Amino acid sequence: MMFADRVLSGMRPTGNLHLGHYHGVLKNWIRLQHEYQCLFFVADWHALTTHYDTPSSIEHNTREMLIDWIAAGVDPSQAVLFVQSHVPEHAELHLLLSMITPLGWLERVPSYKEQQEKLSEKDLSTYGFLGYPLLQSADILIYRANMVPVGEDQVPHVEFTREIARRFNHLFGKEPGFEDKAQEAVRKLGSRRAKVYRELRLRYQEQGDAQALSSARALLDEAQNVSLGDRERLFGYLEGGGRIILTEPEALLTEAARMPGTDGQKMSKSYDNTIGLREHPDAVIKKIRTMPTDPARVRRTDPGEPEKCPVWQFHLVYSDDARKQWVLNGCRSAGIGCLQCKQPVIDAILVEQQPMRERVEPYLKDPTLLNSIIADGRERARKLAQETMRDVRDAMGLRPS
Ligand code: TRP
Ligand code: SF4
């Protein structure tokens, strides 16, 4: 690839995170941070598009969410953690992209109408809300991120971003004399490589041969002594367009977590059935102990059916085969009581949360620790964002004189 692999994802600061977030999104981030350069940010501007009337809660939730991420094991020394509004370049790119974004594309994004209907008590017929997906595109494109881990609901936003990148490259990737400069760059590859490059390019452009495209890309990856500008031209020329200024991202689909809530439905704030990531052990114990079970088990001696019991859903997440068998047999034969059945679930959750509580202890004792992580993340993110903005301004004829 022309640019290094880079992962980016964001989350709106909507409130304290729960175990559903952990088993769904965060575990995935934690895995990715060891494999790739990762940037994770708090999308506070995105939160304002719907919560513009309660900005102070956004500020509070931003800090809480960063602490939740760190609790879960997102490591600020591995990944860049930052706050969207601290990198004003996102807004500049959003503005510039807005010049080339057809209104119809925005109106067609599925979340637009859906959210307006769902949050009907709010006036969401705003300019900012319509632009939500484009702001997200700017978030992604400004880091030239090629991988964006998101849930299913966000895939259309990543697709939209790809279209915006393609349109941008098409409109602004053609520098004057591009064709000549590209051919000159081909010659500089040396006669043997140049010959292979030309053949592969033709095969791709005339016959759509995808194999030829990837071979040509590999050839460019290997070629030494090619300047960055020429390299971009060669990649662009290969596919028929101009230079590739903005990278088209791919969605890395995060599998929906099977994490149940205390009522057996999916864990979600709107169902009021969550267990917080950093919830106090006493509260966890109480929530599980008072969870409903199979209604057929009125008395201890009544047999039950795990399939009809939300507690069983927790065993599916936390128990090994032997323990699951113990539940199935014990429940159906009334050999175990419900509190007895719940105890290993309580234990497993407390064990899972223990390192989370430990990780955040220093941050709770000393709030300035988080400040320095935020400041450091901001600096690292801005540096990358500014590099892209230089190229974008350049391509659009907006050089500072
Ligand atoms: N829209 C995303 C959500 O609601 C949050 C988000 C904003 C995001 N910008 C992003 C996610 C960029 C991935 C990449 O979940
Ligand atoms: Fe549910 Fe376990 Fe009670 Fe059976 S024994 S009803 S699975 S809590």
Averaged confidence pLDDT in the chain = 94
| pLDDT at position 11 over 70 | yes
Q: Measured from the CA of 332, which atom of ligand 2 is nearest?
A: 4
**What's the gap in Å between 373 CA and the centre of ligand 1?**
21
* 8 A C-beta contact, residue 69 and residue 370: no
Calculate the alpha carbon distances from 360 to 14, 20, 74, 79 in Å. 20, 19, 11, 17
Nearest to 269 by CA among 12, 4, 2: 12
- Close Cβ partners of 282 (under 8 Å, ≥ 6 residues apart): none
162, 247 contact by CB (below 8 A): no
Residue 253: which of 182, 158, 184 has the closest Cα? 158
Determine if ligand 2 sits within 6 Å of the CB of residue 327.
yes
Nearest residue (CA) to ligand 1, atom 6: 10
Percentage with pLDDT > 70 across the chain: 99
Ligand 1: which residues within 6 Å by Cβ? Answer: 8-12, 43, 46, 136, 139-140, 148, 150, 154
pLDDT digits (tens, 9 = 90+) for 251-309: 999 887 789 999 999 999 989 999 999 999 999 999 999 999 999 999 999 999 999 99
Contacts with 345 (C-beta within 8 Å, 6 or more apart), sequence order: 288, 311, 314, 315, 318, 319
Regarding the beta carbon of 220 and ligand 2, being less than 6 Å apart is answered no
Q: Report residue 122 as tokens.
A: 């709010």
Residue nearest to atom 14 of ligand 1 (CA): 9
- Best of 46, 87, 119, 143 for a ligand 1 pocket test (most atoms within 8 Å of beta carbon): 46
Taking the C-alpha atoms of 204, 5, 158 and 240 in order, what is their torsion angle to the nearest 10 degrees? -20
Which atom of ligand 2 lies at the shortest distance from residue 337's CA?
5
Q: In CATH terms, are 6-173+367-395 and 278-364 the same topology?
A: no
Ligand 2 probe mutation, 263, 293, 307, 317, most atoms within 8 A of CB: 293
pLDDT-derived band at 399 (thresholds 50, 70, 90) equals confident
Query: Which residue owns the Cα nearest ligand 2 atom 3?
Result: 338
Q: Which-ligand-closest: CA of 311?
A: 2
- Determine the length of the chain: 401
**For residue 337, which phi and psi values (nearest 5 degrees)?**
-90, 165
At residue 1 the predicted structure's pLDDT band, cuts being 50, 70 and 90, is very low
Domain ranges of the chain: 6-173+367-395, 178-238, 278-364
Stronger pLDDT, 222 or 92, i.e. the higher one: 92
Number of the ligand closest to the Cα of 46 = 1
Task: Kindly give the distance from the C-alpha atom of residue 178 to the centroid of ligand 1, in angstroms, as a whole number.
Answer: 35
Which residue out of 7, 9, 115, 134 has the highest number of ligand 1 atoms within 8 Å of its CB and is therefore the one to mutate?
A: 9
Q: Residue 311: is its pLDDT beyond 70?
A: yes
Longest CA pairwise span in the chain (Å):
86
Lowest mean pLDDT among 114-118, 129-133, 282-286, 314-318: 114-118
Rounded Cα gap, residues 381 and 89, in angstroms = 10
Q: Of the CATH numbers 3.40.50.620, 3.40.30.10, 3.40.190.10, 1.10.1200.10, which one belongs to the domain with range 6-173+367-395?
A: 3.40.50.620
* Average pLDDT of the residues in 356-365: 96
Among candidates 254, 375, 279, 317, which has minimal Cα distance to 15?
Answer: 279
d(CA 165, CA 171): 10
Pocket test for ligand 1, best of 154, 164, 252, 254 (most atoms within 8 A of CB): 154
Is 101:164 a contact under the CB 8 Å cutoff? Answer: yes
Whether 157 has a pLDDT exceeding 90, the answer reads: yes
CA 90-91-94 angle, 5° bins: 85
pTM of the model: 0.86
Average pLDDT score over residue span 101-112: 93
Nearest CA to ligand 2 atom 8: 338
Which residue minimizes the CA distance to atom 11 of ligand 1? 10
| pLDDT score of 356 more than 70 | yes
- Domain at 278-364, CATH homologous superfamily: Tyrosyl-Transfer RNA Synthetase (1.10.240.10)
pLDDT tier at 401, thresholds 50, 70, 90: low
Closest atom of ligand 2 to 305 CA is 4
Rg of the chain's alpha carbons, rounded to an integer?
26
Tell me: pLDDT of 224 over 60.
Answer: yes
Nearest CA to ligand 1 atom 9: 136
Secondary structure element (H or E) that encloses residue 11, with its range: strand 6-11
pLDDT 10s digits, 42-70:
999 999 999 898 888 999 999 999 999 99
At 396 the pLDDT is 94
pLDDT at 2: 56
**Quick one: pLDDT at residue 258?**
81
Question: How many angstroms separate the alpha carbon of residue 146 from the centre of ligand 1?
Answer: 14
Residue nearest to atom 3 of ligand 1 (CA): 11
346 in contact with ligand 2, CB cutoff 6 A: no
Q: What is the pLDDT of residues 160-200, one digit of tens each?
A: 999 999 999 989 987 778 889 999 999 999 999 999 999 99
DSSP readout, 128-197? HHHTHHHHHHHHHHTTT-SEEEE-GGGHHHHHHHHHHHHHHHHHHS--TTHHHHHHHHHHHT-HHHHHHH
CA 52, chain centre distance (Å): 23
Q: Are 219 and 197 in contact (CB under 8 A)?
A: yes
Please give the number of the atom of ligand 1 that sits closest to the Cα of 151: 15
Return the pLDDT at 173: 87
